[in-house]
Amino acid sequence: MTAETAPLHILARYAGRKPAAPKWFEEALALMPDRHRVASEGAEIEYFTWGEAGQPGLLFLHGGGAHALWWAHIAPFFAKGYRVAAMSMSGMGGSDWRDRYSIAQHARDMRAVAKAAGLLDAGKAVIVGHSFGGAPTATAAADPDQWVERAFIIDSSLDMRHSPANGQPEPRARRHFESFEQGLARFRFLPPQECENDYIADMIARDSLVEIEGKGWSWKADPNSFLNTDRLDSRKQAKNARCPLAIIYGDRSWIMDEEALAKLRRDLPDTTPFIAIPDCAHHVMVDQPLALVATMRTLLES
């Protein structure tokens, strides 16, 4: 199945009901994070934490239009050995919107969260970025202050050629729904893809909606965040990284095609691991969450 033929609204058939979920997933979500906000360059940035302070730091960054709790079922697996944080980029999740955004500013927000969350108390932090989040992750990895120990870039070509803004010449109005259930039914992945783990999609979708007084429900994300983002050469940032990188991707990902992989292999050191997760499309933490956890554990232990 391709991005063009994948079903769009995968939760519509549940009519607001939660799909059945396996035990491991329920146990992971039972380890509830603490929610925080930190001021960074005029915006309040939302982040969540797991694990005891004083442990090595591990920071998760979501993709475009997403939010911190895309990692809510992944982060708990690392809480015994790490001080873990997952943040929402400005314009997404529960973080403030800005008039304009930039990849460089998202990277600086990452450092602000790392400091506030105590991820740097034990030394440098490991950072993980998915999709659009791979660009700020690569930029943070190239920071001359060298606060990053290692960086894992997940299913991100770093060249933004698949960005939704590429086909969005004009600003969009915010969309509203009459009910929470209606909004939930309209949730979809970008790029579209099939999903066998509807319980993960449901978790993500529920935390993607916000009630707006007098207007019903809407997506938390700024609909024009992509359009209003100042970009930079993210592959160049990755090439100039001051720490080891690893590239993790879905073997069926529409984003990580032969062209994208060839460019990354050309630009990155020969020692950079390139790890394909089997039977997996773009949203790796949705398609193969346990394989992603195992891959990250192996990299962290190496």
The predicted structure's pLDDT at residue 7 = 59
Task: Please report, rounded to a whole number, the percentage of residues in the chain having pLDDT higher than 70.
Answer: 95
Instruction: Read off the pLDDT band of 207 (50, 70, 90).
Output: very high
Query: 165 pLDDT exceeds 70?
Result: no
Nearest to 147 by CA among 174, 119, 116: 119
Query: 1 pLDDT exceeds 80?
Result: no
DSSP conformational letter for 131: G
Query: 2 pLDDT exceeds 50?
Result: no
For 180-192, the pLDDT digits (tens) are 999 999 999 988 8
The C-alpha atoms of residue 163 and residue 151 are separated, in whole angstroms, by 22
Mean pLDDT within 39-44: 98
> Which CATH number applies to 30-162+222-301?
3.40.50.1820
For 47-61, the pLDDT digits (tens) are 999 999 999 999 999
Contact of 28 with 73, CB cutoff 8 Å: yes
Q: Which pair of structure tokens corresponds to residue 214?
A: 């007098």
Q: Which amino acid is at 5?
A: T
Q: Which amino acid is at 219?
A: W
The C-alpha atoms of residue 233 and residue 94 are separated, in whole angstroms, by 27
